[in-house]
Chain A
Amino acid sequence: MSLRADFHTAFDEVAPSTRGLSQRVVQTTLAEAPERGRKQRWMFRMRAPMSMVAALLLIAMAAGALVGVSLLRDWRHWSTANPPQVNQTMLKSLEARPLQLPVVAIDAKCPTSALTDVSGHGPESFMFGTGPVYSSPLGFNLTTTDWGTWGSFDLKVDTTKTSGLILVRAQDLQTNMGAVFALFPSSAPGAAGDGIPAGRRVGHDVILGVSEQLYAEEVIDTSRPYSGTKKVEWPIFKSFMGYPKAAAGCIGFQIDGGNFMEMVVVSA
């Protein structure tokens, strides 16, 4: 069977009858074409002004986008130049506490912290740790860069047991490599509900197209505004953290507050 015959078989077997089609199409054309012709002539006359309106709209949108980006950059620049103030005396005293995170053998199982039921204090059901600060699982692999892997996680604070400044330091327990903190890309320092990257500056990384300063620590200030939880619920602070490519992803947090020290281990 030739390809031509195959074509005829393949398409003829699904083609409907065309009886009356020709007359129907022609009659419809003759009946409706004059009216359509008038409409199309009107449309043709309107086409140029409408095109001009569309072009102007496009220009306005482009200009709006440029202005928006510029405003965002200015706002971020302004915010970066004016980071939220934290009590430096308190911060220094917390930073002075030695890191007590354990070392875990590379071939050992990551000693992930126990989960606690926190469902009575917000939308989350279980979070890692025994309090007063609890960690969500690491929402990692948001993006990877030449340096490492970036993602976000939440810290929930039991404000009935602690308040004020809380210092968070983290490292990969199996490689002893430090995890670092940064602003959420395109977010300004001090955005409601965000942790504040702090401490030693340890370099830059380009994250989602934005060059970000990396910090060795993060600070949570429960006196600052936060969003996403109701007043009666424990507040949640969002953190943006990265760890180097060579790290194993067994991340230990040492969390120091005025009246407590806590260690939480999570696995990426």
Chain B
Amino acid sequence: MQFGGSDVVRDREFAELLGPLIEPGFRLALAMLRDAAAAEDAVQEASFTAWRKIGRMNDRGKLRPWFLGVVANKCRNARRRKWVADVSLGVPEHLSVPSTEEISLRGTDLRRAVARLRHDDRLVVVLYFYLDMPLDEVAAVTRSSTGATRARLYRSIRRLRPDMILEEALR
């Protein structure tokens, strides 16, 4: 992937490439971190990384899984920091986002169950179920094989919903 020569052209190309990925990146970060401010920080940090490294990418088709992988990595680092842990533990369900809708018990339970998963398991289920990514693209984000990702997904579903039939869950 080659950028144009001038700064203006380079900036425009960067905005065109990365712009559409910011929103899914934010949704991924929000589901991973459960904190809107921390999620935006993670996406912003991922965007800085993208700015530095995007010129080295040869395959434009791999940009989305690559960028989401960077976001996931920023989320992992963010959760290691104590301040994020404190924020997340304190407000796990309502987040820092005002919502006019009443939060359903089912949604609360699911968010709580997802939060209890390990980082890699949580990443797979969020990408698959929330970002609606196909399994091979999920595998590209997590940098593992499709088979290993499938196994991780099945395992995580069992942890989330032990009573649910797998085929039903995968619909």
Contacts and interface: CB of A to CB of B under 8 A. Distances in A.
Interface residues of B, number: 48
A18 B26 contact: yes
Interface of A: 2-4, 6-11, 13-16, 18, 21-23, 25-26, 28-30, 32-33, 36-37, 40
Interface of chain B, main secondary structure: helix
B84 interface: no
Interface string B102-118: 01101110110010000
A3 B157 contact: yes
Contacts of A11: 27, 30-31, 107, 111, 130
Interface in B32-82: 36, 40, 43-44, 47-48, 50-52
Contact of A14 (B99, B129, B164, B169): B99
28 contacts: A2-B168, A3-B161, A3-B171, A6-B106, A7-B130, A10-B110, A10-B114, A13-B107, A14-B93, A14-B94, A14-B99, A14-B107, A14-B111, A15-B30, A22-B19, A22-B22, A25-B22, A26-B22, A28-B44, A28-B47, A29-B18, A29-B47, A29-B51, A30-B11, A30-B15, A30-B51, A32-B48, A33-B51
Contacts of A25: 22, 40, 43-44, 47
Given A14-B111, A25-B40, A30-B51, A2 B171 contact: yes
B162 interface: no
Interface of B: 11, 14-15, 18-20, 22-23, 26-27, 30-31, 36, 40, 43-44, 47-48, 50-52, 93-95, 97, 99, 101, 103-104, 106-108, 110-111, 114, 125-126, 129-130, 132, 157, 160-161, 164, 168-171
Nearest to A16: B97
Contacts of A8: 129-130
A11 B171 CA distance: 18
A102 B19 CA distance: 87
